[in-house]
Structure 1
Amino acid sequence: TNYFAVSSRFGTPDDFKKLVDEAHGLGLLVLIDIVHSYASADEMVGLSLFDGSNDCYFHSGKRGHHKYWGTRMFKYDDVDVLHFLLSNLSWWVTEYKIDGFQFHSLSSMLYTHNGFSTFTGAIEEYCNQYVDKDALIYLILANEMLHELHPDIITIAEDATYYPGLCEPTTQGGLGFDYWANLSIPEMWLWHLENVPEREWSMNKIMKVLISSNHHMLSYVENHNQSISGRKSFAEIILNTGMCSSGSVDDDLIFKASSLLKIIKLITFTTSGGAYLNFMGNEFAHPKRVEFPMSSNEYSFHLACRQWELLDKGVHKHIFNFDKDIMSLDENERVTSRGSLNVHHCDDTNMV
């Protein structure tokens, strides 16, 4: 609900500035997940009913609420809303010196149906009465402002529908993002892991998802969507979590499972179209999902953590070392910046 500082649960604004400075000193960039696609419906500490009216920053009526989540939806045709959101972006860069943004859940704002529709890729699905043209204009303005004032800034679009022109220059009719996060890749891996024995995986189907539209693509094996309540982390699916914390990589079962996980990591990394991302804990095969305190788990913090002590244990240490080797490969060979792939052979029979 606070747009101009991190939650006080994690520290003060000065604490965050120190964190950013420390990261920069280590040669790391700091990007934040910015949520301008919707807002909290909280009327006590949020923007909802901020001035007592229902439409101060948001649409009135049904359009003012997300179709399924109940969150408030900004009215991007309002000049004050544009000023507020653009100033919010500028604040994070000028005050906290962050290096970029991932724009969260763009499909929620790009369409009046909030992205909850069947998409086949037909151009008509992106050019109809359900597209919020004012939201498009805001994203163009945001990218133009950020890249004009801060040439080294990085902007990433998180859009499950892959709106055409996400990463094309605004001068060419695009939205101006530097990268787009391909949410279909982790969903593809999850579907295979849960539904298809590994000996029956189709290499053609896998490669189709991995390399389709991989221009400026940010790839990852799994993200927060695969780790929310009721689902499992990939390590939890692939590895027997009762054994993996103490299991040795010499154990046949653990060796086979960890090898499968490493193959998934390697093929996703080498086919990425520009960038690769680890969700926290994936780099060492964290055995449990993330689950925040909520009513369904009686507000437990049990899964709202990462077990960093596993970094030096058994199969987790082995997979972590493999992940570091992948990063070194990119540093030395520039794998993710080589451009589009040319896949010359794909054989389902021999799984090659």
Structure 2
Amino acid sequence: MVAYLLRRLLYVVPTVFLVSLVSFLIIQLPPGDYLSTVVANLSRTGQNVDPAQLAALKERYALDQPVIAQYWKWITNIILHGDFGQSFEYGRSVSTLLAERLPLTLALGLSTLLFTWAVALPAGIYSAVRKYSVGDYVLTAVAFLGIAIPGFLLALTVAYIQFRYFDKTVGGLLSPDYVGARWNLGKLLDLFDHVWLPVLVLSLGGIGGTIRILRANLLDELHKPYVVTGRARGLSERRLIAHYPVRVALNPFIATIGWLIPALFDGEVLVATVLGLQTTGPLLLGALESQDMYLAGSIIFIACVLTVIGTLVSDILLALVDPRVREGYR
């Protein structure tokens, strides 16, 4: 087990380096840079740009250097000083912008994940155990609807119903009165009053997919010889299913914990834009549109690092839950 963990930890460092390099290079693929975008926007409005000021800004942000030099400056500042650079568009440090939005993004993602599993796992087990029952057909229909309905469309529909019939404010995770206030019990309750809508929208597709995957995995396990042997030994049906087939059927979910983070980031961009959430989704979208390379690169880099950490955690949990992983490594 120790050798397994050490090997997984050794994979983390080169993986993080490679994803940081790829992330920075990807945002450099569109032609031009942030200053080119600013100049184009000013030109469309008939304004002139001072060439000397433009040259000074290029030198300040190292935009006159090759892409590799820009990347090296960015990554070394992160490693040595924890400095993610300066956002061109906002004129503020990227660390400050991330400190404002990343906690809400992670809280929203964690709430969505817990809600998805709390609903989908019991539903998937019931759907497999009661195969072809009325409940199974109902859950199957709900799962297919959850997978098929786009998140942004569901967000618009639920937001309209909330505003039209319940007279509640739509947009944001906080009411306007609490946006700039310090955290207290009232602000926390107001957050809970708003967060259920994005959690519901973001989790619906995941609930549908989880139900279908768990049902298929569990149906494969229920007819294997070890289950028949357990029944022959007189084990109760509930104990037999909970301790053996369900435990094996959960392996794919444990193994893919790291994949859930980028999926939440991807889905959160559109939903957060529609609902006006103060998360990193709209921030990333705006940074990519304006080619704010330090801000966009930092958000993508953090998402990739969280993915690597999540994959490491899933590997460790899988080795703890399933002895076959440890034995297979040996």
Instruction: Look at both structures and tell me which one has the larger radius of gyration over its CA atoms.
Output: 2
Q: TM-score, normalised by structure 2?
A: 0.25
| More strand as a share of residues | 1
Whose relative contact order is higher, 1 or 2, with alpha carbons under 8 Å and at least 6 apart?
2
Select the structure that is richer in helix. 2
